[in-house]
Chains A and B, each alone.
Chain A
């Protein structure tokens, strides 16, 4: 039967419905601020949004969006290669290229389209792609479409990457190496200095997805490559407008002039409508704010450090280092479900992640921190986890 392969998902959804738990697709009924809303009938602190700088609700971004809708209408109704390239799209490409200090940029309609589209197109049959094993689903989707030989290296392991580059011999010079800046599940940062060193030794082109690190890391917010001081080794940076920039869309920038020709070979760019002008306008404004207000990044990191140290201090198993993504690791799916629901009832919305979306066999309660969170909200989140320990849903200090 065509539908047999979906039976396990049908069963899982039925189980969740019977238990009255809705971790996937929980409906946000109201947004009160960048960090507060009503989800599934409960007023909650939003701690699972990727709204790292809180700009989704910034009045300047909202005003820019409203003005653009008034001027340009609600949508472009067409592809960038047909009628969907408005001057606003080109202006955002110029802005994002200038932000990264390179000459070439492409704006996509989603972050998924940016990474999957670039990964599907840059390498082709006869080429080799080396990708980090914990890469995002959009990267895996893209490389599978590419027709290139796909080699996975161990997550955040530059020695394994170097070993695999060495095995390629002369082919390494044209290999495409794909990594992320911050990995979305555990919030761990790629060891980019060592990865860049491997590239320098063996050759290849380096592609860095800064979806979770743009606006978050680096002296001016350009991401993990800037923070690591290896931007000159990077050939392509991809990213999204739907996290620190609070909108939706994606981009790729590069110092290589060929990017302008590659643009016309990317199906995810050609065969979809371009972003609504209102989204482009809010993104441009958010990018301007990121450049003008570095204190947002400082506030984000203050909050991230506060949450990470608070949860680690409870003895919970968290990611390897403080990051705007603070994930609590649990082995048991049942317990994870119960914790997620208890957090929601306590007024804290977080993301729940279970295999195969998690990097291994474990489950995650994934918290994302915002510069817009108040210290009090962070303390409320920590207290909600402590209450889970008191209720016996999470291991008490010393038992994790």
Chain B
């Protein structure tokens, strides 16, 4: 499994707990439009991801992150 796949898998696990609509989570799943995350849920998810990978995700990158795959790629970048 590549590092990216590992990040993707963990992020999907985190997002499952907020997946009230039970949509199938893929790289192209939109965090807000598809899963329906609130801004508070986005921040909670980010905190769990940060703690797991021991990174800090700057707020500046969030406007560029819409999908699960984009979030995984950002986490990948931040851990390099």
Q: Which residues of A are in contact with B by a Cβ distance under 8 Å?
A: 133, 149-152, 154, 164, 167-168, 355-356, 360-361
Interface residues of B in 50-75 (CB under 8 A from A): 54-60
Say yes or no for B39: interface residue by CB 8 A criterion. Answer: yes
Contact of A360 among B40, B54, B55, B56 (CB under 8 A): B40
Asked if A133 contacts B43 (CB within 8 A), the reply is: yes
- B-side interface residues, number (CB < 8 Å): 12
Please name 14 pairs of A and B residues whose Cβ atoms are closer than 8 Å in the assembled complex, sorted by A.
A133-B43, A149-B58, A149-B60, A150-B58, A150-B59, A151-B56, A151-B57, A151-B58, A151-B59, A154-B47, A167-B54, A167-B56, A168-B56, A356-B39
Q: How far is the CA of A152 from the CA of B47 in the complex (A)?
A: 9
Q: How far is the CA of A355 from the CA of B60 in the complex (A)?
A: 22
Nearest A residue (CB) for B58: A149
Nearest A residue (CB) for B38: A361
Question: With A133-B43, A356-B39, A361-B40 in contact, do A167 and B55 touch (Cβ < 8 Å)?
Answer: yes
Asked if B39 contacts A152 (CB within 8 A), the reply is: no
- B49, chain A: closest CB distance, angstroms: 13
Nearest A residue (CB) for B51: A163
New A-B pairs, 19, CB < 8 Å, besides A152-B43, A164-B56, A167-B56? A133-B43, A149-B58, A149-B60, A150-B58, A150-B59, A151-B56, A151-B57, A151-B58, A151-B59, A152-B59, A154-B47, A167-B54, A167-B55, A168-B56, A355-B40, A356-B39, A360-B40, A361-B38, A361-B40
B54: A residues at CB distance < 8 A: 167
B38: A residues at CB distance < 8 A: 361
Q: How far is the CA of A152 from the CA of B58 in the complex (A)?
A: 7
> 6 nearest interchain CB pairs?
A150-B59, A151-B56, A149-B58, A164-B56, A167-B56, A150-B58
B56: A residues at CB distance < 8 A: 151, 164, 167-168
- A171, chain B: closest CB distance, angstroms: 11
- A30, chain B: closest CB distance, angstroms: 39
B59: A residues at CB distance < 8 A: 150-152
- A47, chain B: closest CB distance, angstroms: 28
Nearest B residue (CB) for A147: B60
Nearest B residue (CB) for A355: B40
- B56, chain A: closest CB distance, angstroms: 5
A150: B residues at CB distance < 8 A: 58-60
A154: B residues at CB distance < 8 A: 47
Q: How far is the CA of A211 from the CA of B29 in the complex (A)?
A: 42
A149: B residues at CB distance < 8 A: 58, 60
Nearest A residue (CB) for B50: A164
Nearest A residue (CB) for B78: A167
- B26, chain A: closest CB distance, angstroms: 28
Nearest B residue (CB) for A165: B56
Q: How far is the CA of A152 from the CA of B62 in the complex (A)?
A: 12
- B74, chain A: closest CB distance, angstroms: 13
- B42, chain A: closest CB distance, angstroms: 11
Nearest B residue (CB) for A128: B58
Nearest B residue (CB) for A166: B54
A361: B residues at CB distance < 8 A: 38, 40
- B24, chain A: closest CB distance, angstroms: 26
B47: A residues at CB distance < 8 A: 154
A167: B residues at CB distance < 8 A: 54-56
Nearest A residue (CB) for B60: A150
B43: A residues at CB distance < 8 A: 133, 152
